[in-house]
Structures are given as structure tokens and as C-alpha cells.
Structure 1
Amino acid sequence: MACAAEQARAAAEAAARQSYGRLVAYLASRTRDVASAEDALADAFAAALVKWPETGVPLHPEAWLLTVARRRSIDQQRRRAAGEAGQDHLRLIGEELEQEMAREKFPDDRLGLIFACAHPAIDPGVRAPLILQAILGFDAATIASAFLVSPATMGQRLVRAKARIRQAGIPFRIPEAAELGERLSAVLEAIYAAFAEGWADPAGAESRRRNLASEAIWLGRLLVELMPGEGEAAGLLSLMLHAEARRAARRDAAGEFVPLSEQDTLRWDADMIAEADALLQRAGLFDGIGRYRIEAAIQSAHAARRSTGRTDWAAIATLYAGLMTLTASPVVAVNHAVAVAYAVEPARGLALLDAIDDARLDQYQPYWAARAELLSLAGDFREAGKAYEIATGLETDAAVRRFLQRKRAALAAR
């Protein structure tokens, strides 16, 4: 019996990993009620853990789960429905589900659900968490931990977002051509936001962020699969893979931070880099150019050091200059200044840093770290030490703080 229960749990976990989002999307797309779809599916998984050890894992686990979930969903709506019109609506939903289940297959509505989660009516700050929950089945507590907010706050935000989808009648569909660009950008930003949260844990050791980057990459793969003609989707996946390929090299054996310029390129994942470059080439086949394709190209230029032994800073500076034409981000401006400093001379980079007019940089650690590095290269060790001190005070990662402190100490010794 214990073996049967273990097999049932393994089958349920596999079905959740592969089909959770597809099942939720199918149920919710017909009712616009994401919360009820999730509840019905949760009941179905609970039933599976009871039934499957007794009867064996069904030949089509997803079909079994959908059958149980749609019955729960219809029961839920029946209890809420009022009048004959409501009953007719439920009967139509039931007949449609029966016909599709009879064919032991159902349509993939995940892309529509993703676009619904990133709809303009949904607050930008909750889009990524909503996609993580609706498509991947993350619970609110896990998402809250990853995004560093309280479980209660995150739970409230998710509940409000799902209510907004239902109340506003947000459609589960790919937007029309006229609005696709803006809406797709919101989807890509949400996925990248999830990746960035996971990337903030370089060693993948913090439970609150563990696997978040890999889940974002999974979402990126899904988007490329469902939208093969979108170059920016391929560009985003390429960007994430290039960054993830370097994860193992971001810490040394003692757990100390290693900056990109000092990383052992043999510790980079060559297969992942090759896949990222193939995706970047694929993205280049499509018209236009976008943020993620340029950012992926920048990361590809850094990755080339693995085979050439050098970093082409001139190319990277040119790419950042191109990226600046698409975005007014001060972060891009800082990176462009650093690339110019290495490609030309530190003084040019410092001049570009000084020209950035954005008060937010006062609290932005990478700005001060970059400034300290360029001042050091220019021979102004006193001012560089002051910049390192500010950067250290702004840094929250203990390993990075120690790295900055060592850099400052080395300056003092000089």
C-alpha cells in the first residue's frame, strides 16, 4: 500500500508539473474565474491521492484530473447560479467538457491565461506572482517569500487580481495585432521579474528563492513554444539562459562572490550557452529589434570570452548604446558607461556616469560600485575608496559586501 501511495503521489506531482497551468487555463477560460478553477483542481489532486493508491494511476492522469475538477467547478457554479439562465449556461459548459473529455484531449489555453494575468487592468507588481500561481501552481506563501513580502499581503494581492479578472471579464486570448506588442511586453516583463528574483540568489541556496529562476526559464520555454514567431520571446529565453549558465561561477568554493570579469569560464554551462546563442540567432530572423534581443546579445558577447579569452568591450558598448535608444533606464546608462570605460578609457566612462541625471542612483549599489571601479582605474584611489564605502553600505548580500570591502582595503594598501 505504501508503494502504491508513493506511485500515486509521484504521478500526481508529474501531472502538476506538466499540466497544472493547462488544466487551470482550460477551466478558467470558460468561467473567467481563476480562483474557482484553482480550487476545483486542488480538490481533484486531493481526490487523486485518495483514489489512485486504490485503483492504480489512470492511463491518462490529466484527463482524470480534469474530469473531477470540472465536476467540482460545475458544482461550485451551480451553487452560485440563480435562475434558469444560469442553469442553461452550466449545461452548455458541461456538454462542452463532456465532448472534449470523450476525445481524451483538451485545448491548451495557457497562453490566454498568461495574457489575462498580464492584462493592463492587473497591477504590474502582481503580474509575475499571478502567473507563477496560475500557471505553475505556486502557493501564496512561497511566492510571498520569493518576492520578500508577507504571505498575508501577497495572498490579498492575488485574490484581488483574480477578482479583477472575473469582474472585468478579462478575456483569455492572444491580443489582436494592434495591441499585441504592448501586451506581450507586459508578459515578458512579468516572466523576467520572476527570473530576476531567483537570480538574486546566486547559489540557489535560499529556500524563498530556490528554483524561481528555473521556473521562469520554464515559462520562457513555454512562451517560445506557444509563440514561435515572436523574436522577443526567444530573446528573453536566450537572455535568461545566458545568465543562468554562469550561476555556478558566481561563488567560489568558500562561497565568496566572484565578479563576471574574474569568473572561471570553464565553470560556465557550455550547453546552456550554446542553446542561448541558437535562440539569439533564431530571434534575429524576425523583423524589428527589441530590448531582450539586445540584452541577450550583450550576454552573448560576455560569453564569448569562454572561447576567445577576451571581452569585446567595444561591441558591448555599442550594444548598450543601442539599448539606450529603446529605454531611458539609468541602469542601462550605468552599464554603458562601464563598457565605454573599458573600451576607450576610464575618464570617458566617468564622464558618462556624471552625465546621468537620476536621483535614484544615489541609492543604487551598482552605480557606486561602478564609480569606485572606474575611479580606481583612473588612479583616484581616495575617491574610489569613498565610493566603495557607499556601495558597501547599500549592499544587502553579505558575500558581495565582503568583496567590496576587500576592494576598498586593497586601495587603502596602495
Structure 2
Amino acid sequence: MHDIRAIRENPEGFDAALKRRGGEALSGQLLSLDAERRGKISAAETAQAEQNRASKEVGAAKGRGDEAEFQRLRALVAETKADIARMQAEAAMLDGRLREMLMGIPNLPLDSVPDGADEDDNVELKRWGQPRGFDFAPVEHFEIAGVRPGMDFETAAKLSGSRFVMLKGAVARIHRALAQFMIDLHITRHGLDETWSPVLVLEDMMVGTGQLPKFGEDSYQTREGYWLIPTAEVTLTNTVHGDLVDQASLPRRMVAHSQCFRSEAGSAGRDTTGMLRQHQFEKVEMVSITDAESGLAEHARMTGCAEAVLEALDLPYRTIVLCTGDMGFGARITHDIEVWLPGQDKYREISSVSYCGDFQARRMNARYRPEGGGKPEFVHTLNGSGLAVGRALIAVLENGQQADGAVDLPAALHPYLGGATRLTAEGVLA
């Protein structure tokens, strides 16, 4: 959420940043609403002072025995009290409208973010690894002979409908091994704190990280009012919801492996085959809570943590910075990491690492006490996949596929698979 005071100080800069994201200028509407709200508050405060003065005079008039003045002042106090209540109610209504508007406005991009309309304008930052050359035509993950016995879309559709998969046997074990490997790497090499969190959250938590109120159709809600998390970003970031923490306790670096749920609204017709885009999936999510000065350095660090997973798995990837028109709602800058999928002959997103500044913290009212003293400041938040487990499984299977339908598995996974190095064409580990 945005700071209305910052908009008052620089409305032209605010509008210019929104236009970079493809939005319209909104400072005029916001400041008009803000001025009306502040006017009501000021009028109510003036009326309150008048009521207080008149209340004192009521007692004085009664003491003098001036009945006429006593009755006039009593009527004035009652009338002023009603006016104050009305103005306070109007101010609260205007405050709600202003907050609702501010809640629906995306974060402002950093100056370094490239301008652009969509994914075609994203800028590549680096590439790692060389896509493997095949002496046969590589296929997509679900077409590999050794994978077919362990990737059951038909049974999943019978149970739950489209965009679900049932993993079995060796494929399920590789999927589980990937998640365990990622968590272990982040804990031992990157110093992240492992966390296990609920997948059902209160509405305020979804508001805090920006999934609500604008993007409710992208998530699932239970009849009891809980929301299913689209990623553990929601739970990990909201661990400081409403808190005032010491700067010395920052940064807080967390990682969690969780089930995630997305309705995939707006993705009709995209990635309908295979398990690339599912309603239920697993992610290893990283979240950092920092002070105002450390956010950008932490963003670079977190991007490196995600890249390290792919390098350990020997999976070629590229890292791009998203342009202003392709960034998510809450981000100031986002690095997408795209893994090479030979079955599709293209790079596909496997991690998105975003720096949000104090945008989420304002929604959560999460602040820290500066070590040197002074007024509390809002924390800065970051989140990133480290990685999407299902997409990592796809990448491992496609990059390791062999002509006979077997799959050679990355050495980093061998200890998690009891020493097995290959998924055979019959769908068993060997």
C-alpha cells in the first residue's frame, strides 16, 4: 500500500511511476479524496473544541442562575455533538474509500526496472549452463516412457478435475527428493531458517501480502472464510504482521516447503497438458524481512540462492529482470529465473524473486525500531521461489531423458534416492 503523504509531496512522480506500469494518473483523485477527508477531520476537531468550550459555559450559566443562557448553551452542545458524530462518520467513510483506492494500486517500479508492456520487453541478465544436445528428438516430461507409469493425469481428473496430477512410485519419490534437497541446501549453504506453516489463513493475511482485495479470483476460499495460500510467501511474510521488531533482529531469512493452491484464473488454454500449470502444487519458498537499507542487497542474495539450486542440479537457466508491464502487483523489481526445458525447446519460469520495499509492510503494519533510536520505520519484504518443486521435476526429467525412455538423474539427488542414479524406461529407480 502507498503512503498518502509521499503522494502529497510528489504527485507528479507518483503518476509518472504508475504510467510506467501502464496505469493511469491517480494522484488527482487520491489527493482530492484525501483533502476532503482531512477537511472533515479538521472540522470535527474544531467542533469538538467548540463543544468543550460551550460545555464549560453551561456550568457557569447555571451557577449564575441564567436559565435562558443555560438552555441555549445546552442546545448548542447537543447540536454540536450531533455535528461531530456526523463529521467523524463522514471522515471514516472517506478514509475507507481512500484506503480502498490505495489498496488497489500496484507498487511503484524502481528506476532501474526496464520500461515495457509485456514479457517481450523483459531483459536478460545472465545465462548459466549449456542446453544439452540430443541425438534424438526430446519430448515433454509426460511423454517420456519411464515417466508415464508415475504421472497419472486420468485418475487425478477423476478425483479432482482438470489441472491436477497424481504422482506415483519412482516419480513421486523424485519429486519428494527434490523438495528435501532444496530445503537442505537453503538451510546448510544459505543460512535460511526452516519453517513449516499453515496452508489455511485468515483474510487479513491475504490482504497483507497483496493477494486481496484485488486478486481474490486467483485463490480459493473455504466456506468458513479461510483462504488457501497460493504460496508460503503469505504465511512467512505475515509472521511480522502488526509487529514492532528490533532492527538488530533483521534480516529474518526463512524458507518453507508447502502445498500451494491457485485457481489459475485467466490461464485458460495455456499449458493444459502436463503438470506445468496446476491448481495444487508444491513450492520451496524463501522470504526475507529486512530494514530499509538492506532490501536491494538482499534481493541480489536471494536471486543467487535460487540460482544455486539449479546449478547444483546442473540445469541450464537464464535470469531476467521483468519490465514494468510484466511485474507482479506488489513488486518494485523482480528477477525471473527460467530453466531450460528441451521438450518445449524454450526457457520457462521456475522462480520469481521480488523486492517489495515497504509496500506489504504498510498493509501489514509491520515496523522496526532503528538501532540508533528515532521513529519506527516499516520493514522491507522480499520473496522468491527456491524453487517450484513440480517445475523442477519437469526440468530434471526432460533434461535427463534418454533415447530409450529412461532418465539420468542429477548427482545431487542420488543420496536422497538411496543411491539410485536413473529412472528406467520401465519407471523404476536403479
Identify the TM-score tier after normalising by the shorter chain.
under 0.3
The structure where helix makes up a greater share of residues is 1
Larger CA Rg, structure 1 vs 2? 2
Relative contact order, higher structure (CA 8 A, sep 6+): 2
TM-score scaled by length of structure 1: 0.25
